[in-house]
Each structure stands twice: as structure tokens, then as C-alpha cells.
A and B are shown apart, each in its own frame.
Chain A
Amino acid sequence: MFNASLKQLSLQLAEKKISSTELTTEFIKRIKALNPEYNAFITVNEELSLAQAQAADKMRASGKAGPLTGIPIAQKDIFCTKGWLTTCGSKMLSNFVSPYDAGVIERFNQAGAINIGKTNMDEFAMGSSNETSFYGPVKNPWDHAAVPGGSSGGAACAVAARLAPAATGTDTGGSIRQPAALCGISGIKPTYGLVSRYGMIAFASSLDQGGPMAKSAEDLALLLNVMTGFDPRDSTSLQRDTEDYARDLQKPLAGLRIGLPKEYFAEGMSKDVESAIEKALDEYRKLGAQTVEVSLPNAPLAIPVYYVLAPAEASSNLSRFDGVRYGHRAKSYGDLADMYRKSRAEGFGPEVKRRILIGTYVLSHGYYDAYYIKAQKLRRLIAQDFADAYKQCDIIMGPTTPTVAFNLGEKSGDPIQMYLSDIYTSAANLTGMPAMSIPVGFGDKNRPVGLHIIGNYFREAQMLNVAHQYQLATGWHLQSPV
């Protein structure tokens, strides 16, 4: 049951081999037994989950079940969930029981899915190791000395350790793909604008995008079918026709042109990662795809550009946390400004403060053009590089991360080393293109390696096809650390 795909679980529920109440109870038992070790969940609420499961069983009995009805899904603690503690991994929101549901949560509720718990994450999604969480670090199920990646580290751990059949994540610079890679699971960041940002606590609004994390590309397709869709409450939500993201899964790959950016196969990628990626590319050639070298000359600038734009947007978004209407307020303070300063100093952790300060500086008088506008101009050049590359190929591949999972504590004292773990992933956020990671083997210390698949805008169905065909031919995605 714990290794079953979403399709298999759905079938078992449809054939009445198991009820959602039983399935949910089993996963809650497993979480209770193993979460003290992993720390993948911040909140588990058996009563609320089981109430949803009973409702899902009724929904099925009345003939209204969809593909995800009755299936437990772990929700990243960035999605506001009515009646649930929603912390965003921060002391600032450690007392915040959300009075409303995020758009994504509403969609899962309508589909009859079960919220099995809220997953741990880097504070306000700022981090690549889950170590900035106010609720403590999460362990990588493949090696408990290693980080799970971040910011969706709890989600990746929960899926890999089989504490949940699937999970949601969010991705501002790689926060779905990097932890998916480090934990040996599959995850996709869709095209910007496909998944509602309503009620998804904002980090950098022009880069943030929600997406699913699961054991396989096929599962991701089912989850995307539920998660995507227009939401008028998100001002950048796209109005498009409904798609079935599973429609192309079975297509053969003959003739597929895979672009390999030479900048991604250069200095920086470790040997063990390179070897696993090369083997995966050989597999794609066997499946009938061709590989062509492409160039993204401005790719090395993605990290500096990202560390101007994301903190700039964050400094603005996080100004709402002032201790007035909700969240942490300091115990003692003088005037109103002192209340703001003390509440924010106490409520935010060091990485969040650092990014607010960077953002405040680059937006301050006299520096706006030199940093913020400069970064926006480079953002266009990076997007242009990708547009040029897609003239020669259908899809782009490379490593998701330069190394396998690093050790807990290894980079937490060095922000720049930490930032560089998103060196391959942040460009897809700057351009808004869809990108995913799938497991393709193991590197040093038997830690997983992820293949990064970047598609052109709105090519999710094609990317899932490309990932699914590989997963049919190989078994890396079926390997489990538990």
C-alpha cells in the first residue's frame, strides 16, 4: 500500500478493496511512528484528516468519485488551510490557524483528496536544505546524515519515506525540483500562472509557482490535472482551456530532440552526478531521442539575478508581517515602530532577515537601477537564450543539482554555497518555463541524482511523456529508501 502509485490506490478504492478511512488511518499510523525521526510534518491532525476521509467514502458511495477521491496528499505548510495551523516554517506564523483555504487546497478538497498533514519547509520557502525551518531540519530518508533539500524538504521526505502517496510543493528558485532530486522522487514546477497562488504564502510573486511531488511522472500528471486551473483571485493566473496532462504519456520518443546546454555540462557538476546523467541520456538515445548541444550563454548569471529579484520581491511581500492582525507580536515594546521592529526581529529567522535586508537595499534610493533594473534586463537575456535554444531542440536536459545531497550542517553557515545549489534550477523561475526533476540513479554515498527536464512554455504534457517513457524503461523511480 505504501509503495502503490496513485492509479493503483485509486483502483483499490474503486474496487472497494480498501476505504479512504482505512487508507488514511494507515498513513497516519505510519506518520506517527516515523515522523519523530524524519520531522517531515509540522502538523498532523487525525480528526480533520479522518473527517475528510469519511466524506470521501460517502462521495465515492454516491458515485461522484474522481481519480484522487479518498487519496491522502501531504500539503506544504505554505498553503493556507482552513482550520489548520499554517506556519510557513516560521515562528512568525507559529500561532496562525488559517481562516481560509488556498486555491490549491480548495481544488484538492473538491477532488475529494485527503489532507494528511502539513509538511516542514525552509522558513518562508527561503532555503535549499530545510535547515532554516523554525521547526527544525528534516532528514533525507536515503541517508539520515544528509539534508532532504529545500525548501519543500518535508514534502520530498514524506514522499520518499512513503509517509504520503504524494505531496504539494512550491518552487521559487528550485524548491520543488532540488528536494525531489536529493530525495530520489519526481517533481514538477509548471509554467508560471497555471497553479493558483491565492492563499499560497508569497515569497517572490513573479517567481513563485506551486506544483506536485510524487513517486512517478504518471502520478504527477494526475495531480496536475487537479492542481492547475484559472483562479480569478490570483492576478497572474492564466485563463486557458483545461488540459489532460496524462494525454501524451504513452507517446514514443523517436525523433525527440534533447538540447544539452554546454554551460550545464561544465565545471561545477560533480563526477558522480555527471556519470548518472550521462547514463540517463544514453537511455534516452536508446528510446530513439537525439541529443544536440545548445548554449545558454547567460545561464551563469541566473543566480546573481535571482538573488536580486527574489529578495526584492520578498522584502515587499514580507512587510505584511507586522504583528498587528495576525502572527507573532513581541511581548514588550514601546511605540508602534518599536512594536514592528521587535516583532519582526523575533518572528523572522536569520536567512529570512538576510533576504529582507538584501531586498530592501537593492530597492532603496540610488541603487534601484544598478541592481533591480539591471537584474530585470538580464532576466530578459536569460529568457532569450532559452527561446533561441528551443529553435534547435524540443526539450532541455541537464543535472537538477551540481552534487548529491550534502550533509546536515555542511552549508548552513555559508549562504553563498547554499545559494549555488540552485544554480541549474533558478533560470526556469526567471523565465517562467516548466521544469521537472526525475530520479536517474545514485551518486556518492548512495545518494540520489536527479535529471532536470526543462520544457518550453505550456509543454507539461510533453515533459511528463518524456519522463514517463524513461520510467517505463528503467526502475529508478521505484527504488525506495524504506
Chain B
Amino acid sequence: MTLSVSDVKRIADLAYIEIDEDEAKETLNQLSGIFNLIETMQAVDTSTVEPMSHAQSVVQRLRDDKITETDQRELYQSIAPQVEAGLYLVPQVIE
């Protein structure tokens, strides 16, 4: 598998991380090395193996549909970058 600088930029775009040309080039070198390591996985035949997503085979618990959280808006918003009238402010999305 070979990655290109444009692949790195595309991934960074998907991950919402701004990246410039120099960073993309450096990242490409490092990711290529890491993917060479990852590729060693392909040597093992796993066609009959079930994927294991979790260490314990447990089922999701259900809980009663009732309110357990109290209103802590002021506390939570006290650490927000920008709030006004109890709302989190972000750049305008809809014209």
C-alpha cells in the first residue's frame, strides 16, 4: 500500500485537522512506516475467524427512561470558549 501527500491531506480533511504542505510531507513519511508495520497483519489467514470487538462478551445494559441528571448549564457553560444567553456560540452556519 502506498500513501501520497494528497491522501494525507484528504485524511486530515476528514479528521478536521488543518495541515500545511510541509506537515503533510513529514506525516506521509511517518505514516508510511507505520503502515508497513500494520501490513504484517495481512500474512495471517483470518477468513474463518469472527472479529472480536471487545474484551468481554457482555450485552448492553438497559435502564429506565427517567431523568437522572440535574440542570448544571451555568456550571458547564462557565468553561466554554464563547457563550451568550445560555447558548454556545459558533460561526453562523445558516444564512
List residues of A whose CB falls within 8 A of some B CB: 95-97, 99, 192-193, 206-207, 232, 235-236, 238, 298, 300-301, 303-305, 307-308, 315, 319, 322-329, 333-342, 344-345, 348, 353-354, 356-358, 360-362, 364, 370-371, 373-381, 383, 415-416, 419, 430-433
CB closest chain-B residue, reference A235: B60
* Contact assessment for B52 and A339 in the assembled complex, using a CB-CB cutoff below 8 Å: no
Contacts of A334 in B (CB 8 A): 91
Contacts of A374 in B (CB 8 A): 41-42, 46
Complex Cα gap A98–B40 (Å)? 41
In the complex, per-residue mask of B1-26: 1 if CB is within 8 Å of any chain A CB, else 0: 00000011001101111110000000
Contacts of B27 in A (CB 8 A): 353-354, 357
Contacts of B60 in A (CB 8 A): 235
List residues of B whose CB falls within 8 A of some A CB: 7-8, 11-12, 14-19, 27, 30-31, 33-34, 37-42, 44, 46, 49-56, 58, 60-61, 63, 72, 75-76, 78-82, 88, 90-91, 93
Complex Cα gap A337–B14 (Å)? 11
CB closest chain-A residue, reference B51: A376
Contacts of A337 in B (CB 8 A): 16
Check A336/B79 contact, CB under 8 A, given A348-B17, A360-B11, A378-B41. no
Minimum CB–CB distance from B64 to chain A (whole Å) comes to 11
Can you give 27 contacting A-B residue pairs, CB < 8 Å? A99-B75, A192-B55, A193-B56, A193-B58, A207-B55, A235-B60, A301-B41, A304-B37, A307-B38, A319-B15, A335-B91, A341-B16, A341-B18, A345-B19, A348-B17, A354-B31, A361-B11, A364-B14, A377-B50, A379-B52, A381-B46, A381-B49, A415-B33, A416-B33, A416-B34, A432-B54, A432-B56
* Contact assessment for B54 and A206 in the assembled complex, using a CB-CB cutoff below 8 Å: yes
Complex Cα gap A364–B8 (Å)? 12
CB closest chain-A residue, reference B76: A99
* Contact assessment for B51 and A377 in the assembled complex, using a CB-CB cutoff below 8 Å: yes
Check A206/B16 contact, CB under 8 A, given A232-B61, A308-B41. no
* Contact assessment for B82 and A329 in the assembled complex, using a CB-CB cutoff below 8 Å: yes
Complex Cα gap A373–B52 (Å)? 9
* Contact assessment for B55 and A193 in the assembled complex, using a CB-CB cutoff below 8 Å: yes
* Contact assessment for B34 and A236 in the assembled complex, using a CB-CB cutoff below 8 Å: no
Cβ-neighbour of B63 out of A232, A358, A361, A416 (below 8 A):
A232
Known A206-B54, A232-B63, A304-B41; 19 more pairs at CB < 8 Å:
A99-B75, A206-B55, A238-B56, A319-B16, A325-B76, A325-B88, A329-B82, A340-B16, A341-B18, A344-B18, A348-B17, A354-B30, A357-B15, A358-B31, A371-B41, A377-B52, A380-B49, A416-B37, A433-B55
